[in-house]
A and B are shown apart, each in its own frame.
Chain A
């Protein structure tokens, strides 16, 4: 998932952002991958992920194709992890998102013990992934560094918007909606958690981190600097 690689922010801003994902390689270990990926997601539950998802159906907080108008006053912002597991019907990429290193470390150790045979990657700060491997007794196989954004960067929005919108690397969380939610939280029209849930629903593979988003939204006005 390159879509988790280029999250904007300094290492410190990923202290509550650990994505562990599993993928099969076409023609090499994709036979039986569906059940293994379902098992991967089930193994994540005891470690209290903040999101869970697959690349086909989305995350644990999804839009509704037939929303009841009365929901405007009682919108449910609780993630439905079991729906993600039950809805997985085709091998793809599956991911579990954690908001603390201990949970990520323990999950990685559990995945190692299960020996699913799928390729597993951790997407977070360089040091954070190293620590997870160390705790699980694993050596890193390969690393893909993000070098950030270049070119016509004047087309990009401000840092606070980028902290939010880049949590969906597929670009499904627009800069404009992130800006709108920052403004709404500042104006007291939504809580940080409610605004984070709005953004989370647009992520189509379940890697958006609502905990980190709520922290950024709550701290609007105190932008984290990249340098």
Chain B
């Protein structure tokens, strides 16, 4: 993302809306600037800020007059008064930043928007997680911290060494040059994204082992992890196998997404 210095009036609104704090006001030029190394190309500034198309010279003059009179104009905080943002053409490997950070862009590997995964959301017809299995979503960088692929690599290697299988229909898996070792393409190691999800599936008996493994790797990563665990309910709608393990490990099960089983295969020629 770029900010046109000819349009920017340094109002500062955008410095608050950037999820990773990559925008700041450069006092030497009195304009907002984007730290390209930290920017994850999420487009939150470009898509989220309402845009006015005011004349920059006019706005700067008004701001100077207000400053002289010690008056504070209290504009809406989610507006770019001069529509100063302009997306840049992204090329490989930087384009992966947007693919993982801008939720409006579908992942080419899965065709799914957002982080590009279906998980247990469609488990009622995909059967991705069966009885006796547990699905893990290990999400890096969330909430609002971001993650470098080199950190994701650490976890992928550790999981592969433990002999787990990575979900095939997952954007991170699609970026692996060697799925058996969990090795990601080397040319994306210097890219940062807002968040990314690694998905694996193991027998329920390995639940504790996987959680311990994640906990062992976490201190080596310079980011946060949001851990999700998916399980199949029994025919009465009860889930009494995975939940108790998680509670025994000290987790409070406050929130969940619940697939209520209304999906069915309707395509004429389903996969």
Which B residues are CB-close (under 8 A) to A118?
A: 262-263
Contact with B along A113-143 (1 / 0, CB 8 A): 0011111111111100110110010111111
Q: Is B120 an interface residue (CB 8 A)?
A: yes
A144 & B266 in contact (Cβ 8 Å cutoff): no
In the complex where A165-B144, A198-B78 touch, is A126 in contact with B256 (Cβ < 8 A)?
Answer: yes
Max chain A Cβ within 10 angstroms of own Cβ: one of B194, B232, B263: B263
In the bound complex, how far is the Cα of B219 from the Cα of A227, in angstroms?
Answer: 23
- Minimal beta-carbon separation of B63 from chain A (angstroms): 14
Q: Is A6 an interface residue (CB 8 A)?
A: yes
* CB-CB contacts below 8 Å: B101-123 with A: 101, 103-104, 110-115, 117-123
In the complex where A156-B224, A176-B16, A198-B76 touch, is A23 in contact with B114 (Cβ < 8 A)?
Answer: no
In the bound complex, how far is the Cα of B141 from the Cα of A65, in angstroms?
Answer: 29
Interface size on A, residues (CB 8 A): 99
Which B residues are CB-close (under 8 A) to A147?
A: 226-229, 246, 251
In the bound complex, how far is the Cα of B262 from the Cα of A173, in angstroms?
Answer: 31
In the bound complex, how far is the Cα of B253 from the Cα of A227, in angstroms?
Answer: 11
Q: Is B52 an interface residue (CB 8 A)?
A: yes
Q: Is B268 an interface residue (CB 8 A)?
A: yes
Which of B103, B145, B194 contacts A55, CB < 8 Å?
B103
Q: Is A26 an interface residue (CB 8 A)?
A: yes
B142 & A169 in contact (Cβ 8 Å cutoff): yes
Q: Is B34 an interface residue (CB 8 A)?
A: no
The residue on A at minimum CB distance from B249 is A147
The residue on B at minimum CB distance from A30 is B267
* CB-CB contacts below 8 Å: B249-265 with A: 251-265
Say which size band chain B's interface belongs to: 35 or more
Q: Is A212 an interface residue (CB 8 A)?
A: no
A171 & B42 in contact (Cβ 8 Å cutoff): yes
B260 & A138 in contact (Cβ 8 Å cutoff): yes
The residue on B at minimum CB distance from A10 is B254
Contact with B along A62-101 (1 / 0, CB 8 A): 0111111101100100000000000000001100000000
- Minimal beta-carbon separation of A194 from chain B (angstroms): 9
Which of B3-11, B86-94, B182-190, B236-244 lies at the interface? B236-244
Q: Is B143 an interface residue (CB 8 A)?
A: yes
Which of B16, B51, B110, B195 contacts A67, CB < 8 Å?
B51
Which of A10, A140, A149 contacts B258, CB < 8 Å?
A140
Which of A21, A29, A153 contacts B125, CB < 8 Å?
A29
- B residues near A (Cβ < 8 Å) are 15-19, 21, 42, 44, 47-54, 74-79, 81, 101, 103-104, 110-115, 117-126, 129, 135, 137, 139, 141-145, 194-195, 197, 214-215, 218-219, 221-233, 235-239, 242-243, 246, 251-268, 270-271
- A residues near B (Cβ < 8 Å) are 1-11, 14, 21, 23-32, 55-56, 63-69, 71-72, 75, 92-93, 108, 111-112, 115-126, 129-130, 132-133, 136, 138-153, 155-157, 162, 165-166, 169-177, 180-181, 184, 189, 198, 201-202, 204-205, 226-227
- 17 sample A-B contacts, Cβ–Cβ < 8 Å, listed by A number: A1-B121, A6-B226, A25-B125, A55-B104, A64-B51, A69-B81, A119-B124, A140-B237, A142-B124, A143-B120, A146-B228, A146-B256, A170-B115, A174-B21, A198-B77, A202-B44, A204-B104
